[in-house]
Amino acid sequence: MKKLLIIILLIITGCSEKLSENYRGYIYNSKKEPLHNVKVHEWYNPVKYVYTDKNGYFLLKPRSLGFVDNLVFEKKGYITDSLVTVYYHKGHGTIYLFLTNQPDTLFMKEIKKMKSNGENTPKSGEIDLMKYYNDNSDYERQNSCK
């Protein structure tokens, strides 16, 4: 009985996921190619950020080891993405993203280029609309005077 208790204790402690002191991971495009120069920052601390290297890898020190935040991923030509880094899943327990010693991966979607006739207009929820209108306002102003 004592041996069984020791084995169960070893299994439970051995299966617990070790957390990293940093956010870490890889960012790829939809073709599974590494994305270089993706800006990565915490949601509530956008002034402290890092960029991914040529392999799409990033390592970001959190603002506090006692507080984890959502992460934001930004790159021109791609849909800005944000992820919750810690959440609870019934049946699986607490899930950690980009906080374990094993790096996680995010795939970013490219923004589709619009044709001047309005084809390929992004659908609702496909991109951040305020960013879309800000980025395209010069194009619309130039073409509205013709």
CATH code for the domain in which residue 82 is found: 2.60.40.1120
Residue 34 scores a pLDDT above 90: yes
Task: Read off the pLDDT band of 11 (50, 70, 90).
Answer: very low
The band of 10, judged by pLDDT with boundaries at 50, 70 and 90, is: very low
Q: Do residues 106 and 119 both lie within one domain?
A: no
Shared domain check, 48 and 116: no
**One domain for residues 86 and 116:** no
- Whether 100 and 126 map to the same domain: the answer is no
Taking the C-alpha atoms of residue 69 and residue 84, their distance in angstroms, rounded to an integer, is: 7
Domain count, the chain: 2
User: Can you give the pLDDT at residue 118?
Assistant: 58
Residue 8: inside a domain, yes or no? Answer: no
Cα-Cα end-to-end distance for the chain: 86
Residues 120 and 87 in one domain: no
Verify that 67 and 133 share a domain, yes or no.
no
Q: Do 99 and 66 belong together in one domain?
A: yes
Query: Are 91 and 124 within one domain?
Result: no
Residue 77 confidence class, pLDDT cut points 50, 70, 90: very high
In a domain, 97, yes or no: yes
Q: Is residue 47 part of a domain?
A: yes
105 and 117 co-located in one domain: no
* Cβ contact 95:87 at 8 Å: yes
Structural domain for 142, as ranges: 112-146
**Do 94 and 40 belong to one domain?**
yes
Q: What gap in Å lies between CA 29 and CA 35, rounded to an integer?
A: 6
DSSP string, 32-93: SPBPSS-EEEETTEEEEEEE--TTSEEEE--SBTTB---EEEE-TTB--EEE-SEEEETTTE
In a domain, 32, yes or no: yes
pLDDT for the residue numbered 131: 53
Q: What is the pLDDT of residue 97?
A: 80
Helices (H) and strands (E) in the chain, counts: 2, 9
- Residues comprising the chain, all counted: 146
Q: Which residue has the higher pLDDT, 87 or 144?
A: 87
| Nearest of 81, 18, 75, 71 to residue 52 by alpha carbon | 75
Same domain, 82 and 124: no
- At residue 41, the pLDDT reads 92
